[in-house]
Amino acid sequence: MSPAPGRRVALVHILALFALAVSYPLLDMLGRSPEFFVAQRLEGRDLWAFVALVSVAVPLLFVLLAWVAGRLGGWTASWSVGALRALLAAAVVLQAIRHLPAPGWVLALAAVAAGLGVEAGCRRSPSVRLFVALLVPAFLLAPLLFVVKSPSSRLLRPADSVFVSHETPVNVPVVLVVFDQLPLVSLMDEDGGLDRAAYPNFAALADTATWYRLATSVADRTEMAIPAILTGRYPRRGETPNAFSHPDNLFTGLAPAYALHVHEPMTRLCPPALCPDSTPLARRLGAASLDASVAYLHRLLPADLASSLPEVRHDWRGFWHQYAQDRFRASNREDRHPYTWIDTIKPDAGRPTLYFAHVLLPHEPFIYLPSGQTATTFRHLPGLQRDERWVTDDWQVAVNYQKHLLQVGAADRFLGLLFDQLKRSGEFDRALVIVASDHGASFQPGGYYKKPDRRNFADIMNVPLFVKLPGQREGRVSDRPAETIDILPTIMDVLRIGRSGQRDGQSLLADTAPKTDLRMYFNGATQHHRTEPARIAAAALESARRKIALFGPGPAWSPRANYSAELVGRSVADFEVVPQIALEVHVDRPGLYMAVDPNGTFVPALISGTIRALQGSLDREVLAVAVNGTILATSRVVTLVSRDEGTWSAMVRPEHLRPGFNDIAVYEVRTEGGRFTLRTLLPPAAGGA
């Protein structure tokens, strides 16, 4: 028996409203960001499957559920279909009004009221029913606009028809490692050299390679910077970071003469024909759907209601994995720890190998220690605003800078593990080894994090670039101006492969005139910043000295602030401890310190919490964090919107935590005439935070 005419119309309504509420806004939003699909490994037929899932399969599933409810009859049929129709109508309205100047809950209630109004109209008015039914072409229009007009539509074409070189290169293994968001300044000491105590593996590489100290990135975003490295071309507006937009690249240029051992988590310049993806399509579709749901909720909800959602980040996937340990358990676990890529390094018996890894370190979230352990489960960057500009509070920015520098230590560790494996396999000495970064980052209070300007250009543009030629055993420093687009021409020069296609870079081994200006593209390659090499060198040295002034040489365990030199390492018993009743302190996730494993993959070395003034207001109080009776770090209160509430955090060395239970105590620090007093802080009241 077919559904009654009224129920058939209701099913058409659900199809139309779903398209307007979900399919169209989601495909429109994601269609503007092809990087999302590249990172999710959805191109060609796989992307067609995702579009069909979002615009056809899911809405038809909703229709099927409504049909089943209709078959049950009674109030179930009436109210289930009605609730679904009202909910979808409310979602359409909420997206239209979410930017109005009103609290989010008010806008949500208004949208629900409008949805109920649409439902009432559909029940009572033939005209309203006809109007909603006439919207059903949106069911087909949403995917049609994605296929015809969106920037992501380029990914629907097969990526296998790409240029492949047939030249025969010399038999030299090639190792190219590109770290993500690693500024050269982070590696430097106050004299412009490398901080050997903090980053011994980078220093060891410099001892056997040529360090191009004036190397700069040509783009501020990974989706432009990695293709520039792999093609030797400046970024062009509208290009997608895949093989279809960049057919003449390092991978296609060396295939089939070279075996390819590739870890490329954010881009897809190695086409599927050369670098097939082993992850099943169903798993990739599932992961993409979860991440798309986060993006959709940001599109649906007013800003204040969306603030509690996971961030939609520029690494384009894993949005729901708020905590580091959750991310480890996810299917894309190797994004930040491609250790399996190292472990599987093995020379090919019949041909040389290209070893390429884009390593998402030290890119945020800042959760890793130099040991490779994770120190926290919190991913957010306190003090970074929505426009990617830091707040003006110097301590809040310094906390993020410290975590970044320690995570650079994790990148250094990765480099050491890689080189050990290459030496064991016999590939290191005879290989061409290049280590670089896609772009940098800046930690200047009030300045931009990644966008270059007149204050931070050296932090973002100046990147590490080390080139070890086959058989090279002595290091040297070159102040020849270089750009990351020079990497590919240098590789081709060493391998004696002729120039093919259009390249903007030049071999670092060629006897050419030095570059007089260095450029970086940003805002989707619509703008670029030009800088003279001498200015880069001077600004980078100034920034390195500012870093050393904050943290000193070596690993950045103890910032030179908040009396750390006078207090850290001393016993609480060395000071007068007095009670006070004005401040209440809370330690985040105190259960983590009940059973600590200092040698485990996770160790809670970042101790953080909140603080509340029971009387008066907070005013940049200095805190001492003691573990088992010894002060291991100092911190400063960062006030929130309300002046009587704030946050604090402090990093401690993992080896200072003991196995099992650790007693965490937080004190307010007072000083008078050079004499320190510690004031105890109240634990939160029962039922409090």
Model confidence at 479, pLDDT cuts 50, 70, 90, reads: very high
- For the chain, state the CA radius of gyration: 28
In the chain, % of residues over pLDDT 90:
49
Strand partners, 622: 636
pLDDT of 670 > 70? The answer is yes
Structural contact between residues 466 and 434, judged by C-beta atoms closer than 8 angstroms: yes
pLDDT of 173 > 90? The answer is yes
Structural contact between residues 351 and 258, judged by C-beta atoms closer than 8 angstroms: yes
Model confidence at 171, pLDDT cuts 50, 70, 90, reads: confident
pLDDT of 390 > 90? The answer is yes
Lowest mean pLDDT among 54-68, 102-116, 508-522: 54-68
Give the whole-angstrom CA distance, residue 112 versus residue 90: 5
First to last CA, the chain: 58
- Angle formed by the axes of helices 487-494 and 222-231, nearest 10°: 30
Range 621-649 average pLDDT: 90
Read off φ and ψ for residue 352, nearest 5 degrees. Answer: -70, 165
Model confidence at 314, pLDDT cuts 50, 70, 90, reads: low
Give residue 281's pLDDT: 87
Lowest mean pLDDT among 70-74, 127-131, 554-558, 572-576: 70-74
- pLDDT tens, residue by residue, 583-607: 889 999 999 999 999 988 899 999 9
Return the ∠ at Cα 241 (arms to 459 and 49), rounded to 5°.
140
Take residue 118 and report the two structure tokens written for it: 């649409």
- List all residues 6 or more positions away from 466 whose beta carbon is below 8 Å from its beta carbon: 202, 205, 206, 209, 210, 211, 212, 433, 434, 435, 436
Model confidence at 315, pLDDT cuts 50, 70, 90, reads: low
Take residue 343 and report the two structure tokens written for it: 């472990």
Instruction: Specify whether domain 564-680 bears CATH 2.60.40.
Output: yes
Give the whole-angstrom CA distance, residue 34 versus residue 561: 44
Strand partners, 528: 521
What order of strands is seen across the sheet that includes strand 583-587?
583-587, 606-613, 645-651, 638-639
- List all residues 6 or more positions away from 85 whose beta carbon is below 8 Å from its beta carbon: 10, 13, 14, 17, 118, 119, 122
* pTM (predicted TM-score): 0.86
Burial-class residue 517 by CB neighbours within 10 Å (0-12, 13-18, 19+): exposed
Give the whole-angstrom CA distance, residue 70 versus residue 78: 7
**For residues 685 and 456, which has the higher predicted lDDT (pLDDT)?**
456
- pLDDT tens, residue by residue, 248-301: 999 998 988 899 999 998 899 998 888 887 778 888 888 888 888 888 888 888
- Identical fold, 174-279+331-551 and 564-680: no
Return the ∠ at Cα 634 (arms to 630 and 637), rounded to 5°.
135
Structural contact between residues 601 and 336, judged by C-beta atoms closer than 8 angstroms: no
Q: DSSP secondary structure string, 177-242?
A: EEEES--GGGGB-TTSSB-TTT-HHHHHHHTTSEEETTEE-SBSSHHHHHHHHHHS----TT--SB
Structural contact between residues 43 and 270, judged by C-beta atoms closer than 8 angstroms: no
Burial-class residue 57 by CB neighbours within 10 Å (0-12, 13-18, 19+): exposed
Model confidence at 327, pLDDT cuts 50, 70, 90, reads: very low
**For residues 544 and 242, which has the higher predicted lDDT (pLDDT)?**
544
Give residue 689's pLDDT: 34
- What is the rounded average pLDDT for all residues in the chain? 87
Instruction: Specify whether domain 174-279+331-551 bears CATH 1.10.220.110.
Output: no
pLDDT of 76 > 70? The answer is no
Q: DSSP secondary structure string, 129-187?
A: HHHHHTTTTHHHHHHHHHHHHSGGGGGGS-S-----------S--EEEEEEES--GGGG
Take residue 687 and report the two structure tokens written for it: 């039922």
- pLDDT tens, residue by residue, 13-31: 888 899 899 999 999 999 8
Take residue 625 and report the two structure tokens written for it: 């964090």
Give residue 158's pLDDT: 67
What is the domain partition of the chain in residue ranges?
Answer: 5-156, 174-279+331-551, 564-680
What order of strands is seen across the sheet that includes strand 476-478?
259-263, 353-362, 174-180, 432-437, 465-468, 210-212, 476-478
The set of long-range contacts for 674-678, using a CB threshold of 8 Å and a minimum separation of 24, is: 676/563, 676/566, 676/567, 676/575, 677/575, 677/576, 677/577, 677/578, 678/572, 678/575, 678/576, 678/577, 678/578, 678/624
Give the whole-angstrom CA distance, residue 182 versus residue 643: 35
Residue located via tokens 């190397």: 215
Burial-class residue 47 by CB neighbours within 10 Å (0-12, 13-18, 19+): buried
Structural contact between residues 409 and 190, judged by C-beta atoms closer than 8 angstroms: no
Structural contact between residues 226 and 358, judged by C-beta atoms closer than 8 angstroms: yes
Model confidence at 172, pLDDT cuts 50, 70, 90, reads: very high
